[in-house]
Amino acid sequence: MKKLLVSLKPFLDEQAEYFENRTFIDLDPISIPHRFSEKKDIEIAGFLTATIAWGNRKSIITNANSLIERMDDAPFQFIKDHSVKDLKRFDGFVHRTFNEQDVKCFLTALKHIYDQFDDMEAAFSHHFDGADIRTAIVGFRDLFFSIPHESRTQKHVSNPVTGSSAKRLNMFLRWMVRDSAKGVDFGIWKSFQPSQLYIPLDVHTGNISRELKLLKRKQNDWTALEELMNHLRQMDPVDPVKYDFALFGIGVTANKKRLSLS
């Protein structure tokens, strides 16, 4: 494996450098939180966008914009000040299996969080053990669903305890934590280090990782994520999730022909 990682690293570094580029933002869900400059607006818009980030990317962006517009383009102010009556403006919202009932629960849960913490970073870091970001995800999820809610909504916040790779939460954390120097991720959360992050593992990145022999496990679960991150951290222990850009880009461009896997 060490020989494979040595052979892959230059190519993956190159691909990560190429695809972590602001010119791609307009076609990516991360464009939604990029509409804002204030931390709380960014993290709320980012969290809601990441929550519905599955399926067609154009549909994701359209529906995420719809959520923001229904909050009068002021996410934090809406979360902080909204009443039950204000939630009616989300009647009829749907993105795949995420419907008006789910979004109303999410907005209520976020209000509950901001009533207790200064921001979402504080809510996540409150449960962080200082080493494994999985503890922050699990703790945040428990807090999120500490309000009365319908059980159906729980599926929209993944739980690593049950084996989920928590793709959308890990994507959200990447957005918030990684350095903003290249204008893609935001780097506004300082309670975590990029080295502690996990890539958003899904069918696409899982399949590419298997083709590159970085992943053997067949399921795209948390165990597979740990296996993959073990290899990515060997290639870059400081910023291993930069390879999310590479794995995504390789899949989009089918640019595997330059690889030597011997």
Alpha-carbon Rg for the chain in angstroms: 18
Can you tell me whether residue 238 is helix, strand or coil? coil
pLDDT tens per residue, range 198-219: 999 988 899 999 999 999 999 9
Residue 245, number of CB atoms within 10 A of its CB: 23
Secondary structure of 146-198 in HEC code, one letter for each residue: CCCCCHHHHHHCCCHHHCECCHHHHHHHHHHHCCCCCCCCCCCCCCCCHHHCC
Of 36-40, 73-77, 215-219, 258-262, the one with minimum mean pLDDT is: 258-262
| Residue 145 CB contacts under 8 Å (≥ 6 apart), including other chains | 109, 153, 154, 157
Q: For residue 157, how far is the Cα from the chain centroid?
A: 11
Asked if the structure places residue 260 within a domain, the reply is no
Containing H/E element for 95? strand 94-95
| Domains identified in the chain, total number | 1
Asked if the structure places residue 262 within a domain, the reply is no
Asked if the structure places residue 259 within a domain, the reply is no
Asked if the structure places residue 261 within a domain, the reply is no
Paired strand residues for 99 = 94
For residues 88 and 215, give the distance between their C-alpha atoms in angstroms, rounded to a whole number: 45
Asked if the structure places residue 35 within a domain, the reply is yes
Asked if the structure places residue 258 within a domain, the reply is no
For residues 100 and 90, give the distance between their C-alpha atoms in angstroms, rounded to a whole number: 6
Range(s) of the domain holding residue 130: 2-253
Asked if the structure places residue 202 within a domain, the reply is yes
**Per-residue pLDDT at 257:** 46
Can you tell me whether residue 227 is helix, strand or coil? helix
Of 104, 118, 114, 82, the C-alpha closest to 148 is 104
Containing H/E element for 106? helix 100-116
**Average pLDDT for 33-44:** 98
- The pTM (predicted TM-score) of the whole model is 0.94
**Per-residue pLDDT at 256:** 47
**Per-residue pLDDT at 252:** 67
pLDDT tens per residue, range 74-133: 999 999 999 999 999 999 999 999 999 999 999 999 999 999 999 999 999 999 999 999
For residues 59 and 89, give the distance between their C-alpha atoms in angstroms, rounded to a whole number: 20
Asked if the structure places residue 65 within a domain, the reply is yes
